[in-house]
Amino acid sequence: MQVSANKVVSINYTLTDNSGVVLDTSNGRGPLNYIQGIGALIPGMENGLEGKSTGDKFQIKVSPENGYGAYVSEMVQQVPMSAFGGQEVTVGMQFEAGSDEQRFIVTVTEINNDMVTVDGNHPLAGKELNFDVEVLEVREATAEELAHGHVHGPGGHHH
C-alpha cells in the first residue's frame, strides 16, 4: 500500500542539518505514526512521503519554506528582565507569548544585565532539513482516527 491521504503511516527517521548534525531521530523511541494529509508533519516531509511504500528507504531534503519557515529577524526582541516578574530566567528557557488571537513559543537566547533576548522563531526556522526515512507500515485510517485527527492503537494514542 502506498502513502496517500488518510492513510496511517509508520516511519523511522533521522533528521540532520546540512553539516550532518543529528537534530532529531525516532531511533530509541520507536517509530513515528501519523495520518498522511492532515498536516501532522511539515509540508516538505508529507510531500516527500507521498507515494512511497512499506519497506522504502530514502532521503528527503526540505527547504525552509516547506519546513519551519524562513528565519524572521523581527521575531527576535529584547525584553527588560523586570517583565518576568522576578521569575528566574535562563538561556534556553521557553515560554508562551503573544496576544489572545495569536500565541507562540519564544526561547531565551541571551541575558545581558537587565535585558533578555527572546526569539519567537522555531528553532529550525531558516534551515534546510535532511531526513533519512524508512517506511515501516502503511494502512487505512479508521473512521475514529480520522475524526480524532490522530493514530490510535499500538504506536499511537490510546483512549
Query: Which tens digits make up the pLDDT trace of 105-128?
Result: 999 999 998 999 999 999 999 999
The arrangement of secondary structure in 73-119, i.e. its CATH architecture, is Beta Barrel (2.40)
Helix residue ranges per DSSP H, the chain: 43-49, 143-148
Give the confidence band of 136 by pLDDT, cuts at 50, 70, 90.
very high
Q: Where are the domains of the chain?
A: 7-68+125-148, 73-119
Report percent pLDDT > 90 for the chain: 86
Give the confidence band of 157 by pLDDT, cuts at 50, 70, 90.
low
47 φ, ψ to 5°? -60, -40
How far lies 19's CA from each of 60, 61, 129, in Å? 15, 13, 10
Q: Look over the chain and give the mean of its residue pLDDT values, rounded to a whole number.
A: 93
Q: Which three cell numbers stand for residue 81?
A: 528582565
CA 3 to chain centre: 20
Laid out side by side, the sheet with 94-98 consists of: 76-80, 115-119, 103-112, 94-98
| Tens digits of residue pLDDT in 46-78 | 999 999 999 999 999 999 999 999 999 999 999
Most confident of 33-42, 92-101, 146-155: 33-42
Q: How many CB atoms lie within 10 A of CB 113?
A: 6
| Tens digits of residue pLDDT in 96-109 | 888 888 888 999 99
Where does 7-68+125-148 sit in CATH, by number? 3.10.50.40
| Tens digits of residue pLDDT in 2-28 | 999 999 999 999 999 999 999 999 999
CA diameter of the chain: 58
pTM, two decimal places: 0.83
Looking up cell 511504500, which residue turns up? 53
**Mean pLDDT, rounded, for 84-99:** 90
Q: Which three cell numbers stand for residue 151?
A: 493514530
67/45 Cα distance (integer angstroms): 8
pLDDT > 70? residue 159: no
43/62 Cα distance (integer angstroms): 9
